[in-house]
Structure 1
Amino acid sequence: MPAFPASPASLNVIALIGAESTGKTVLAQALAERLARETGLSVAWVPEVLREWCEREGRTPRAEEQLGIAQAQQRRLERAAAEHDLVVADTTPLMTAVYSELLFDDRSLHAMALDFQRRCAATLLTALDLPWVADGHQRDGPQVRAPVDRLVRGLLLAHGLSWSVVRGEGEARVDCAVDALSPWLRTLPTPRAGLFTRLREREAAQPAWRWACEDCDDPQCEHALRASAGRGAP
């Protein structure tokens, strides 16, 4: 059983969501490995059901097949959460719902997908800063990444769900994910403290933060631009 079992209303799931070819699978595996190694917790990563479906069927799903894929993804994540301390999800039903809207103008999966997303402990959105790479039947092309990203952000915003953007390449992307998760991770009972020791050491090494806006004369500064707009500058 998990060291801190989830209640029926919440899951110990770190949800990775984002457009195609933004490194979700690689990040999910690397993040799960690091968290397991440095916290001593039982950590699982759960792969994407859609990928397996496309490889098995040799095509992408039709509109009426989307619900079954979303439900299978949810069941797989719930089982893993019941058996592990932490679960890193390669994706969640939210991405199936987004693609159903984008490809089929079908919003019927929104409610179930958002309900599941609310139960996740944390949501990480992968940035569009990696090059697009073809991947068989599953990927539509680089032109869909920005529309998918907009739909994901729009759904999260409209329903009051918080998220953190993860960017960078390789280990820097994993570091970014750990940084985003660290406030929540620090609240968990962990057999090891290596991860948190390194986080504290890195924070201590950062230069002291200083409020600089009073001395700023950068014409492109956001604060300066807002001030100019307030004075009616052209």
Structure 2
Amino acid sequence: MTVQKIAILGAESSGKSNLAEALAHHYQTVWVPEYLREFVDQHQRVPRSEEQLHIAQTQREREQQALAGAKNFLFCDTTPLMTALYSRHYFTELDPELVRLEHQHDYAFTIVTAPDFPWAPDGLQRESPAVRDRVHRELLELLEERGIPFILVEGSLPSRVEQVSFALDFLT
């Protein structure tokens, strides 16, 4: 069976990483952590405009590498689409290659995590509940504009896993 890549998108502090890990455990497969978190930890700062393309490219490279170890599904904690969305939020111009990567949304299924958890600061990477809510709205609008189907998951982690599991039953 072909491995299906599943995109998990959402604003900061909305539970993407926890959901990706829980789904990988549930389906006995692997997941791709968000490279941005590693970048921030490694450099002890947020990325600059000229580093956004590298972040998106590294995320995609890690997806490709993880496919070899995946079974049925590969859960991707973010995609270049989110890198570009945040880049538009913080910077005036986007690298044309980042825009190209953003439009390569080649995932079998897209999950959006609702910002219904209490917002939690995370060192350098998170800004505020207001930014989280704004990015969430912008993400939903962008997915609608581009005609990318998605499921919005809400509630506790077990509830989110159940919602995704129900939806993924239709893919297999």
1:5 matches 2:2: yes
Aligned partner letter, 2:150: W
Runs of 4+ aligned residues of structure 1 deviating over 4 Å after TM superposition are none
Which stretch shows the higher mean deviation, 85-94 or 61-70? 85-94
Greater relative contact order, per chain length (Cα 8 Å cut-off, separation 6+)? 2
Q: What 5-or-longer segments of structure 2 have no aligned partner?
A: none
Which stretch shows the higher mean deviation, 78-87 or 66-75? 78-87
1:88 matches 2:75: yes
CA distance in 1, matches of 2:65, 2:147: 26
CA distance in 2, matches of 1:145, 1:153: 12
List aligned pairs for 1:68-87, cutoff 5 A: 68-85=54-71, 86-87=73-74
Residue equivalent to 2:15 = 23
1:52 matches 2:38: yes
Instruction: Select 2:150's aligned residue among 158, 163, 178.
Output: 163
1:151-207: per-residue Cα shift (whole Å, max 9, x none)? 2122212211111001111311211221222211xx2xxxxxxxxxxxxxxxxxxxx
List aligned pairs for 1:37-186, cutoff 5 A: 43-85=29-71, 86-107=73-94, 108=96, 109-115=98-104, 117=105, 119-184=106-171
Query: Structure 2-normalised TM-score?
Result: 0.92
Computing the radius of gyration over CA atoms, which structure comes out larger, 1 or 2? Answer: 1
The CA deviation at 1:143 is: 1.2
Query: Structure 1-normalised TM-score?
Result: 0.69
CA distance in 2, matches of 1:147, 1:74: 25
Percent of residue pairs bearing the same amino acid type: 43
Question: How much is the aligned-residue C-alpha RMSD, in angstroms?
Answer: 1.4
